[in-house]
Amino acid sequence: MNENLQLTAHTATELPNPRDRPSVDTPGERHHASLASAQLSVALTWVRRGIPVVPCSRTDKGALVPGFGKGRTPDEMAPFSDPDTVTRWWSSGRFARAHVGLLTGRSTIDGRGLVVVDLDMPKPGAEQLTGRWAGCAGGTDVLELLAREAGAEWPETYTVMTPSGGLHLYYRQPEDGPLIGCATGEGERAPHLGPLVDVRGLGGYVIAAGSYSAAQGRPYVRESPAHLLPQQVPGWLLALLRRPAPAAAPRPARVHQLPTGDRAERYAVAALNGELEGVGSAGEGERNRRLYAAARRLGELSPTAPAVLGETTVQDELLAAARAAGLGEQEALHTIRSGWSTGSRGAEAGAA
C-alpha cells in the first residue's frame, strides 16, 4: 500500500489532542476560532493521507454535505478530497466546528482506504444479550468472543475511543478482492459480525479522533500508541467479513388458481405470482423497494378478489419471498405492511 495512506509516526502526531482543548462551554470568539482551527487541522491531515472527509453534525453525527456514497463517480467524490473545498467548509460559520467525518472504503491514492469496526456500547435500558452472546456487555465483548472462537488474539490496530465509551478499530481495506462494505449489528450476510458491532466500509463514514461531541461532552480520542498504524484486516476477521452468503431458502410455491375462480380471481392469482417472482429475482439494493411496490399493488387489487388477495395471505406469501431473497424478517414485515396500507388506502379512495 502507498505509504502516503498510512499513519506514519510523524503524521500521527499532527492530530490535535482533544484533551488539551478548552471546554466547549468556554465563551467568546477565541474558543470558536480555536475549535474551528483544530477541526480543520484534523480534516486536512486525513486528506493528505488520501482519505476523503465530510463535515458532520456535532449532535447527531449526520453528514452536513450530500453527494458521497457507494455508487458515486470520482468527479462527484472529488470535493471531499480537495484541500481548498475542505478549508472552506471548516472556515465557514455553518461548518466551522463540525465533526470531521472520514469517508471509509476508498482512498484517493490507491483506491483502497479504510474499513472501520465500530464496537458500540448498549443504549441505556437495553435488554441484555442472550444465546450465543450471553454475557457480552458491549461490542468489545462480542469481538473478543469472535476472536476466541477463531482461536485468535485481539486484533491490535489504530484505535479511537468514542464519547460513549465504544471503540473504532481502523484497518486498511484488503489489497485483493472486493472492498468491504457497511453493516449494522447482527445479520446472516457478510459483513455483519454481531450485535453492537457495526462495520463501516465502502459508502460509510466514521468520526475522526480530535472531534468533540457537543451532545455527550466528550471527545473522540486516539487510544492506540502513536506508532501503531491501521493494520491489514487479520485473516480470521476478514473471513467473517467475507463469509459466503447462506444458502437461499427455496422460493415459495406459486399460488394456484382457485377451482371456482372467476375472471377477477384468475387475474389476482396471476398478479400475486408475478409479484412474488419479482421480489425473488430483485437484485441487491432493489429488494426492499420491489417488496414495497409489490405490497402496494396487491393492496390496491385486493378489493377485486378478496378470496385470493386477503391481507394475511398476501403478507405470508410476500414475507416468504422476501426471506428467500435475503431480507430480514422484521425489515420485510415493516415494508410489506407499509406498502399494503398505502395500496389499500388508494383502493378505498378510488372506490369512494
- Give, for 349, the enclosing helix (H) or strand (E): helix 329-351
Give pLDDT tens digits for 221-274. Answer: 999 998 998 999 999 999 999 998 765 555 555 565 555 568 888 888 889 989
Alpha helices, DSSP H, located in 49-152:
74-77, 83-89, 139-149
- Give how far Cα 34 sits from Cα of 84, 186, 210, Å: 19, 40, 13
Enter the C-alpha cell of residue 350: 378510488
| The pLDDT of residue 19 | 41
Contact 314, 298 (CB under 8 A): yes
Give pLDDT tens digits for 164-223. Answer: 999 999 999 999 999 999 999 998 889 999 999 999 999 999 999 988 766 667 889 999
Q: Quickly list DSSP for 301-330.
A: HGGG-TTTS-HHHHHHHHHHHHHHHT--HH
Least confident residue range of 33-37, 80-84, 167-171, 172-176: 33-37
Please tell me which residue, 344 or 83, carries the higher pLDDT value.
Answer: 83
Q: Which residues contact 69 (CB under 8 A, 6 or more apart)?
A: 203
Q: Is residue 274 exposed (0-12), middle (13-18) or buried (19+ Cβ within 10 Å)?
A: middle
Query: Cα-flanking dihedrals φ and ψ of residue 335, to 5°?
Result: -65, -45
Give pLDDT tens digits for 281-303. Answer: 887 678 889 999 999 999 999 99
Give pLDDT tens digits for 318-328. Answer: 998 888 887 88
| The pLDDT of residue 22 | 34
Q: Give the number of other Cβ atoms within 10 Å of residue 257's Cβ.
A: 14
Compute CA 248 distance to the chain's CA centroid, rounded to the nearest angstrom: 23
Model confidence, pTM: 0.66
Contact 190, 240 (CB under 8 A): yes
Given a cut of 90, whether residue 49 has pLDDT beyond it is: yes
Given a cut of 60, whether residue 114 has pLDDT beyond it is: yes
Q: Please, which contacts does 245-254 make with residues 24 or more away whose CB atoms are closer than 8 Å?
A: 245/188, 245/189, 245/190, 245/326, 246/188, 246/189, 248/324, 248/325, 248/326, 249/320, 249/323, 249/324, 250/324, 251/276, 251/280, 251/321, 251/324, 252/276, 252/317, 252/320, 252/321, 252/324
On average, the pLDDT of the chain sits at 84
Alpha helices, DSSP H, located in 113-215:
139-149
| The pLDDT of residue 30 | 47
| The pLDDT of residue 246 | 66
- The full set of domains in the chain, from first to last, is 3-123+130-241 (3.90.920), 263-351 (no CATH)
